[in-house]
Amino acid sequence: MKLILGMGLTGLSVARFYSKKNIDFRIADSRLSPPMLQIMKQENLLIDFHLGEWNKNLLDDISEIIISPGIAESEKIVSWSRKKSIPIISDIELFGRYAKAPIVGISGSNGKSTVTQLLGEMAHNDGKNAVVCGNIGKPVMDSLSDDADVYIVEISSYQLDYTNKINLLTGVITNITPDHLDRYEDFNAYIESKLSLYSYCSSNIVNLNESLVSKIDLNACYAIDKHGINCEFHANKDGDKFIFFHGSQTLMSSEELLVIGRHNVENILAALTLGHQIGLSLKSMVITSKKFKGIEHRLEWVVSLNGVDFFNDSKSTNGISTITAIKAIADKYKSVILIAGGIAKKEDYSELFQLINTKIDTLILIGQSSAMFSKKINSCPVHIVETMEHAVALSKTIALEGAILLSPGCASFDMFNNFSERGETFKYFVLQEN
């Protein structure tokens, strides 16, 4: 019998798959009211289930465990399973056993969702039946298709932690910066988790601008302002713009793109290199890149009101992401108001504070970290408010030109269910009465 741990989206997708395949399974969650409980009841997936504190009896007659990525290695059920030598796998590994089409794996601290979405659009526009899934939204076990030409899968470090075997045609790690340090023993453990993706790839794609990745044995690479013999795609800075190249062939300029920022130049280079590896045409990839609007909640342009542009970057849940967003916006706008705050992560925010003091005209803070953040800012006005509604209203009152940027640099759970709800709330109040 199989044991599914966790009744979130991952657990639901695995339960559906096992039910369809007539594979016996037990499902358990340490929460009394897990998010997918009602759906599982409606779909008759709770034949053998357990809610509440983990129990050793859950492991009786279990041959394999499929674990949801949110369950940490430190939890009792994992320790008990390790002692009994019961194999523990991720849904990614299970997916790899049944997927009949090639799989592209994409990971990284930042940019992985953007690269995954862009590569999917490139493949679709090139006539491929590309299935985009994984950490980006749709669970992999809900995405299996006999008609797929290629699977483009965003893979988190948590999923990699429980993956032991999977065959990836190609893959990339966009970058590695401190994140999830509440889950890992230290930064080195997090780095090791990310780098494990390459052990499953037939072809490694490497970002030469990422020092923690650049020494990996590579089959192809990409870079900005430096490139080697294997660098199929690169970009050079030319004044205020970037020029993209395939070898010596000029492809396009960043001025032709809808997305902004150096980080998006890297993201496009990653997608171009991956796309080339899976046989996409250069023409369709360039056309797609020029039309690409980015992903929701990641430097998403919302609206222009009275000469002020509003950007929703709610997906920035760590300091590095917000640093990237500020740099991109500040390169284009002379005046920037930043809305930030939430639950601060266990990371060094000093670089972010320094950048805010240098580049931001007004800082508006919300959430649990507001008091701590406000003490670090001394070069611009700081306002602490209680709600997103107040933050947006205040920003509209202050801004005369430039941009208003929501880029929290923190988790959202003190005020919202997730970053998506935070971003939607921001957009709602931005667009209200306009």
Is residue 312 domain-shared with residue 285, that is, in the same domain? no
Query: So what's the pLDDT on residue 231?
Result: 85
Choosing from 180, 194, 276, 297, the catalytic residue is 180
Is residue 188 domain-shared with residue 305, that is, in the same domain? no
What is the percent of the chain with per-residue pLDDT over 70, rounded to a whole number?
98
What tokens does 412 get?
């959202």
Query: So what's the pLDDT on residue 194?
Result: 94
Is residue 182 domain-shared with residue 266, that is, in the same domain? yes
pLDDT tens column, 275-320: 999 999 999 999 999 999 888 999 999 999 999 999 999 999 999 8
Whole-prediction pTM: 0.85
Q: Is position 180 annotated as part of the catalytic site?
A: yes
Which secondary structure element, helix H or strand E, spans residue 397, and what is its range?
A: helix 388-398
Contacts of 54 (CB under 8 A, 6+ apart): 28, 30, 75, 76, 77, 80
Is residue 251 domain-shared with residue 341, that is, in the same domain? no
d(CA 411, CA 377): 20
Number of domains in the chain: 3
Q: Are 196 and 160 in contact (CB under 8 A)?
A: yes
**Of the candidates 265, 291, 317, which is a domain's last residue?**
291
Is residue 351 domain-shared with residue 395, that is, in the same domain? yes
Residue 14, SS3? helix
Is residue 233 domain-shared with residue 254, that is, in the same domain? yes
Whether residue 433 is predicted with pLDDT greater than 80 in this model: the reply is: no
Is residue 16 domain-shared with residue 109, that is, in the same domain? no
Q: Closest Cα to residue 166, out of 97, 222, 246?
A: 97
**63: burial class by Cβ within 10 Å (0-12, 13-18, 19+)?**
exposed
- Three-class SS string for 62-119? CCEEEECCCCCCCCHHHHHHHHCCCCEECHHHHHHHHCCCCEEEEECCCCHHHHHHHH
Q: Is position 263 annotated as part of the catalytic site?
A: no
What's the CATH code of the domain at 67? 3.40.50.720
Give me the domain span that covers residue 57. 2-89
**Of the candidates 271, 291, 311, which is a domain's last residue?**
291
Dihedral angle sign, alpha carbons of residues 213, 217, 219, 220: positive
Is residue 265 domain-shared with residue 308, that is, in the same domain? no
Order of strands, sheet of 88-89, starting from the edge strand that comes earlier in the sequence? 49-51, 25-29, 2-5, 64-67, 88-89
What's the CATH code of the domain at 206? 3.40.1190.10
Q: Are 6 and 68 in contact (CB under 8 A)?
A: yes
pLDDT tens column, 374-404: 999 999 999 999 999 999 999 999 999 999 9
Max Cα-Cα span within the chain: 67
Whether residue 181 is predicted with pLDDT greater than 80 in this model: the reply is: no
If you average pLDDT over every residue of the chain, what do you get?
Answer: 94
Choosing from 112, 128, 345, 427, the catalytic residue is 112
Query: So what's the pLDDT on residue 228?
Result: 61
Rounded (10°) CA dihedral 277, 282, 286, 289 = -20
Contacts of 325 (CB under 8 A, 6+ apart): 261, 299, 311, 313, 316, 405, 407
Whether residue 214 is predicted with pLDDT greater than 80 in this model: the reply is: yes
Choosing from 110, 128, 135, 204, the catalytic residue is 135
Is residue 132 domain-shared with residue 237, that is, in the same domain? yes
Is residue 68 domain-shared with residue 122, that is, in the same domain? no
Is residue 84 domain-shared with residue 97, that is, in the same domain? no
d(CA 3, CA 5): 6
d(CA 155, CA 103): 11
What's the CATH code of the domain at 427? 3.90.190.20
For residue 5, list its beta bridge partners: 28, 67
pLDDT tens column, 12-35: 999 999 999 999 999 999 999 998
**Of the candidates 257, 291, 325, which is a domain's last residue?**
291
d(CA 54, CA 76): 7
Report which residue type is found at 266: E
Is residue 364 domain-shared with residue 238, that is, in the same domain? no
pLDDT tens column, 82-96: 999 999 999 999 999
Helix axes 262-277, 319-332, angle to 10 degrees: 110
